[in-house]
Chains A and B, each alone.
Chain A
Amino acid sequence: MRRTSRRMSRRLFSKLLGGSVLAVPWVMQQSGTAPQALANPEPIEARWTDAQRREARKAVEAVEKESGTLAKFDVPVAVEPAFVFRAIPVRSRRTPSRAAEGR
């Protein structure tokens, strides 16, 4: 048990020293407080081929470009706060859209 603890500490320190925040969910998983999916210490990018990295970079750049387009668009603060539910037309505004069903 103690050996396991020491091993965990070393791994945690090495992860933290390496700057990987993913070590934290790993520890959570070890203590049974996080689901396995969150505990994977390996960033998914680590499994990518060079071509996949290029695709991902392009996709992220496209998103950044879109965000930039929106950043230039002025929306007065006074317009809100109920904006989220205005996404739903007319009468359905009464019912918040929590359903996640059905491009």
Chain B
Amino acid sequence: MLSEDIFFSPVTELGQKIRRHQLSPVELAEAYLARLESMGQKLNAVATITRELALEQARAAEQEIAAGKYRGPLHGIPYGAKDLLATRGIRTTWGAKPYEDQVFDFDGTVIRRLRHAGAVLVAKLAMVELAGGGGYRYAAASLTGPGKNPWNPGHWTGGSSSGSGAAVAAGLVAFAIGSETWGSIVNPSSFCGVTGMRPTYGRVSRHGAMPLSWTMDKLGPIGRTAVDCGLVLAAIAGPDPQDASSVPQSFSPATETRPARPWLAATGSGRVGVIREDFSKHGDPEVGAAFGEALKVLEASGARLADAKLPDFPYGAVADLIISAEGASVFRPLIESGKIYELNDPLQPAGLYAGLKISAADYLKAMRIRARMQIELNKLFERFDLLVAPSEMKTSPTLEADLEKYFSGGGGEIGAAGNLAGWPCVSVPMGFGKNHLPVGLQIVGRAFDEASVIALAAAYQKKTDWHRQRPPH
């Protein structure tokens, strides 16, 4: 019987134990599978448990390691993948009723790369239907029901990578893969109190992943620590002929033998721009207070903080229009088949239908504005090495909340700006807000500078223990 501590250990620790033969991959996979079968279903975090495949992969890992063939830090580590990643012979539902029986005959590139790294796929994880494609108003917008937050099951996990956030928070997987077009990794990571990474656009191949907005979709890890996210990123990053937007750059994480440089050395000057939000106008003041404390920790870590202001652009309108137009194009056959009525949330069919009404001229104008945004936004990195902001302005809403109302009120433009620019970001837990629900700090870097983003996040996590807190449920 494994100690409960194991389920909340970072990949770095699990990997060391496996490498030193102190922990059996098969025993570890069995233990995670048992948790997924009991707690995973209660939290609506699971789409499909891949028991047979997991045990086969775990046995193979155990045999290889026993024979002296150690593949690296993910070898024998159980993980879950958002159910928008194609897995050969295992259903991939995209979180949506019209696709509940969909089975692909191939693995997506990320799944394939993790298999080569020796990781063990224990579950396909729940998600908001079509990754929230047409927009959604309720937490129940999912084939598997509302994602229940392990910190308080009466509250939402966030989305659209709902199961990925909950499963990591509840210790049901060692790490998970999520996707983000606009907020879908950062939001559940913040609400569930875990560490999530949105890589630079083009860093990770999306082959085999459900498309929503091909100029904005990104795949990335959710884990316990920034260092863990770096290890996973290293395994999944790199060019892929099957995704023409993937970039010919790999990513090298810190390792036991090659420790990360201190973040100040990594960034050169330690200039950190602070995106301030007006919590007197919108958001929870408790989030503002936690952000203030986080800034003190960053300063104590050597950061030279100065206020940063995003250039004045209609970020939200541009992001929404691009995602709506591209999403309507992707799902046009679904819309025209009438099967959009099978989606759970009333906003989904309406939003997808509305997407079809966007003119080509409007879409292209949005892309032109986006190009100007990128030029102006990138000038921020002439003054700063990194930017920081609260991941979300509020803690998680209740399961019944009207999300449109809950999230109305403005603020948080860095989310739309960062996704439009393709910038990498890590969200780390930075304390608790209302109802003792987690809140997150986002650290954003220039394109392809994940190393600095992870380095500052790791420095923050060395000085805090928010990421070590465990939910009661």
Q: Does residue B101 face the partner (Cβ distance < 8 Å to A)?
A: no
Q: How far is the CB of A41 from chain B (nearest CB, A)?
A: 12
In the bound assembly, the distance between CA atoms of A60 and B353 in angstroms comes to 8
Are A59 and B338 interface neighbours, CB within 8 A? no
In the bound assembly, the distance between CA atoms of A8 and B206 in angstroms comes to 46
Q: Which residue of A lies closest to B351 (CB)?
A: A59
Q: Does residue A88 face the partner (Cβ distance < 8 Å to B)?
A: yes
Known contacts A58-B350, A88-B215: does B243 contact A70 (CB below 8 Å)?
Answer: no
Q: Which residue of A lies closest to B324 (CB)?
A: A63
Q: How far is the CB of B76 from chain A (nearest CB, A)?
A: 27
Chain B positions within 8 Å of A100 at CB level: 211, 214, 330
Which B32-68 residues have a C-beta within 8 angstroms of A? Answer: none
Are B368 and A80 interface neighbours, CB within 8 A? yes
Are B202 and A88 interface neighbours, CB within 8 A? yes
Chain B positions within 8 Å of A1 at CB level: none
Are A91 and B248 interface neighbours, CB within 8 A? yes
Q: Which residue of A lies closest to B204 (CB)?
A: A102
Q: Which residue of B lies closest to A55 (CB)?
A: B350
Chain B positions within 8 Å of A87 at CB level: 215, 367, 370-371, 374, 422
Q: Which of B127-135, B277-285, B297-305, B428-436 contacts A (4 or more CB under 8 A)?
A: B127-135
Q: How far is the CB of A96 from chain B (nearest CB, A)?
A: 6
In the bound assembly, the distance between CA atoms of A86 and B245 in angstroms comes to 12
Q: Does residue B180 face the partner (Cβ distance < 8 Å to A)?
A: yes
Are B448 and A89 interface neighbours, CB within 8 A? yes
Q: Which of A10-18, A26-34, A71-79 contacts B (4 or more CB under 8 A)?
A: A71-79
Q: Which residue of B lies closest to A66 (CB)?
A: B317
Which A41-93 residues have a C-beta within 8 angstroms of B? Answer: 44, 47, 51-52, 55-56, 58-60, 62-63, 66-67, 69-71, 73, 75, 79-80, 83-84, 86-92
In the bound assembly, the distance between CA atoms of A59 and B349 in angstroms comes to 9
- From A44, A59, A70, A80, B314 is in contact (CB under 8 Å) with A70
Chain B positions within 8 Å of A56 at CB level: 349-350, 353-354
In the bound assembly, the distance between CA atoms of A90 and B422 in angstroms comes to 10
List the interface of chain A (C-beta within 8 A of B): 37-38, 40, 44, 47, 51-52, 55-56, 58-60, 62-63, 66-67, 69-71, 73, 75, 79-80, 83-84, 86-92, 95-103
Are B218 and A89 interface neighbours, CB within 8 A? no
Q: How far is the CB of B135 from chain A (nearest CB, A)?
A: 7
Are A89 and B324 interface neighbours, CB within 8 A? no
Q: Does residue B173 face the partner (Cβ distance < 8 Å to A)?
A: no
Q: Which residue of A lies closest to B132 (CB)?
A: A103
Are A99 and B321 interface neighbours, CB within 8 A? no
- From B182, B207, B242, B249, A91 is in contact (CB under 8 Å) with B249
Chain B positions within 8 Å of A70 at CB level: 314, 317-318, 321, 362, 365-366, 369
Count how many chain B residues have C-beta atoms less than 8 Å from C-beta atoms of the other chain. Answer: 83
In the bound assembly, the distance between CA atoms of A87 and B371 in angstroms comes to 6
Are A98 and B244 interface neighbours, CB within 8 A? yes
Are A62 and B84 interface neighbours, CB within 8 A? no
Q: Does residue B447 face the partner (Cβ distance < 8 Å to A)?
A: yes
Are B314 and A73 interface neighbours, CB within 8 A? yes
Known contacts A79-B368, A101-B205, A102-B218: does B338 contact A44 (CB below 8 Å)?
Answer: yes
How many A-B residue contacts, CB cutoff 8 Å?
Answer: 175
- Residue picked from B135, B206, B214, B368, most chain A C-beta under 10 Å: B368
Q: How far is the CB of B248 from chain A (nearest CB, A)?
A: 7
- From B206, B244, B320, B336, A44 is in contact (CB under 8 Å) with B336
Which B178-213 residues have a C-beta within 8 angstroms of A? Answer: 179-184, 200-202, 205-213
20 A-B pairs (CB sep. < 8 Å): A44-B353, A47-B338, A59-B347, A60-B353, A60-B354, A63-B355, A67-B362, A73-B313, A73-B314, A75-B368, A89-B422, A91-B248, A92-B201, A92-B246, A97-B215, A100-B211, A102-B181, A102-B210, A103-B133, A103-B160
Q: How far is the CB of A68 from chain B (nearest CB, A)?
A: 9
In the bound assembly, the distance between CA atoms of A97 and B211 in angstroms comes to 13
In the bound assembly, the distance between CA atoms of A88 and B213 in angstroms comes to 13
Are B243 and A99 interface neighbours, CB within 8 A? yes
Are B211 and A101 interface neighbours, CB within 8 A? yes
Chain A positions within 8 Å of B358 at CB level: 63, 67
Are B374 and A86 interface neighbours, CB within 8 A? yes
In the bound assembly, the distance between CA atoms of A58 and B357 in angstroms comes to 13
Q: Does residue B458 face the partner (Cβ distance < 8 Å to A)?
A: no
In the bound assembly, the distance between CA atoms of A14 and B320 in angstroms comes to 39
Chain A positions within 8 Å of B3 at CB level: none
Task: In the A-B complex, list the 8 residue pairs whose CB atoms are closest, starting with the nearest.
Answer: A102-B209, A101-B206, A103-B181, A59-B354, A102-B217, A102-B206, A55-B350, A89-B447
Are A69 and B243 interface neighbours, CB within 8 A? no
Which B324-348 residues have a C-beta within 8 angstroms of A? Answer: 324, 327, 330, 333, 335-338, 341, 346-347
Are B242 and A99 interface neighbours, CB within 8 A? yes
Are A59 and B135 interface neighbours, CB within 8 A? yes
Q: Does residue B359 face the partner (Cβ distance < 8 Å to A)?
A: yes
Chain B positions within 8 Å of A66 at CB level: 317, 320-321
Q: Does residue B247 face the partner (Cβ distance < 8 Å to A)?
A: yes
Chain A positions within 8 Å of B350 at CB level: 52, 55-56, 58-59
Chain A positions within 8 Å of B295 at CB level: none
In the bound assembly, the distance between CA atoms of A79 and B244 in angstroms comes to 25
Q: How far is the CB of B84 from chain A (nearest CB, A)?
A: 7
